[in-house]
Amino acid sequence: MSNNNPNLPAESIEGKAIYAETVVGSGTKIGGQPPIRPRRVPRVVAVVVAVTVLGSVFYGIISWRDSRAAAAAAASAWEAAPVQVSAVELAYENLPLNIATVGSLKAADEIVLAPEVGGRISQLNLESGETIAAGTLLVSIDDKTEQAELLSAQARARYAELQLERSQRLAQSGTESGQALQQREVEAEQARAEVAMVEARIAQKTIIAPFDGVLGLRQVAQGAFVNAGQVIATLTAIDELHVDFRVPQRDLPKLSVGAPVNIRTDVFPDRDFTAIVSAIDPVIAADTRNVTVQATLDNSDGSLRPGMFANVSLALEAKPETIVVPGTAIQQSASGDMAYLIREGVAAIVPVTVGTRLDGRVEITSGLELGDVLITEGQTRVDPGAAVVIADPNAPAAETAW
């Protein structure tokens, strides 16, 4: 501090300055001014923060207690309210039995056209996909050599016949012995047999359609040389088809020849075809214990083709006085199939044994009785012993709040 008063020594002035700082620090007036107060803002802020925190904690405790009480009240009300379910009183009904399986369509008649002997094709009367009538000559293999042999054999046969007739006349007149007549008879028979053998060889060089059908793809051309057994084409009768399918041996007593069979294919998913059981295999497969059944199907319009996959349904005689329930009413558990009943207003769970399944419904062979009230919907929302009430089926569905 500079000394502006010449009348005061420097030491005195500095001492006053020190004294003034001390006095100011203690709140003493200086020069008639109000005392200077120290800053107390941090202490006020701390108090405000503490009060706010305590208030928040107190409010949280009150809110938690209220929410716990509300939740407990809601849980108590929920437990007390009966669960609405759908149920039905069980009654006997006739269970339509049905065997559902798969099969394959095949032609009633189908052959491979192939020559019995080799040679060059001299005549080919077939085209791929052509419809052929029974008795039509389809293929001829060159038979010039066999035809010449036939002429020679026929000539020898005629000569043998003439010799036989002559011997017969001589024998009648007594000029020829019976032994000579027998020799002529043997020679004539041998000549006729030789003719038949040549004719058979010629027949082996022709292929004639044995039945009406449709030709497959032709594999050879006119004039080609073929070997014995070489495939020329196939001939398939499609106006009548067979469907082969397998059923478990337990259903064998329920099957009979003449029973109707319903057939459906992927090609015509909305069309039903009716076949008739035509044969039942007398042998049961040892590995699967299944029996093969064959049904015959009229295919006059040619809609179906051999080789098609078929869904087969065979209706059997209905089973009377059967308890049948919706499949959704049965619950699976680790201990087996279960069902929920309503007994005196509460849910009760009982074990059941399931039999035949058909179109979403199941037969119950044990566990349920006539007159039982079975829960069909809502059983997943109840526990054994829970109060339940049957919902009004005519009541409007409750809206779901989101």
User: Per residue in 83-121, pLDDT tens?
Assistant: 889 999 999 988 887 888 999 999 999 999 999 999 999
Lowest mean pLDDT among 13-17, 63-67, 204-208, 377-381: 13-17
Q: Give residue limits of the domains in the chain.
A: 83-94+320-390, 143-204, 233-319
For residue 100, the model assigns a pLDDT of 87
pLDDT interval class at 401 (50, 70, 90): very low
Q: Matching CATH topology for 83-94+320-390 and 143-204?
A: no
Contact residues for 283 (Cβ-Cβ < 8 A; gap 6+): 291
What's the topology of domain 83-94+320-390? 2.40.420
CATH topology of domain 233-319: Elongation Factor Tu (Ef-tu); domain 3 (2.40.30)
**Which comes out higher in pLDDT, residue 289 or 316?**
289
Identify the pLDDT of residue 330: 92
DSSP string covering 303-320? ---TT-EEEEEEE-PPEE
What's the mean pLDDT in 372-382? 90
Q: For 143-204, CATH number? A: 1.10.287
Of 345, 334, 327, nearest in space to 382 by CA: 345
Helices (H), 81-143: none
Over residues 212-238, mean pLDDT: 95
How far apart CA 178 and CA 121 sit, in angstroms, is 50
Among residues 348, 358, 351, which one has the least CA distance to residue 322? Answer: 358
Residue 17 has pLDDT above 50, yes or no: no
* Separation CA 221–CA 199 (nearest Å): 26
For residue 31, is pLDDT > 90? Answer: no
For residue 75, the model assigns a pLDDT of 54
User: Has residue 214 got a pLDDT over 70?
Assistant: yes
Would the pTM of this model clear 0.85, i.e. be above it? Answer: no
Would you state the pLDDT for residue 229?
94
State residue 395's pLDDT score.
Answer: 54
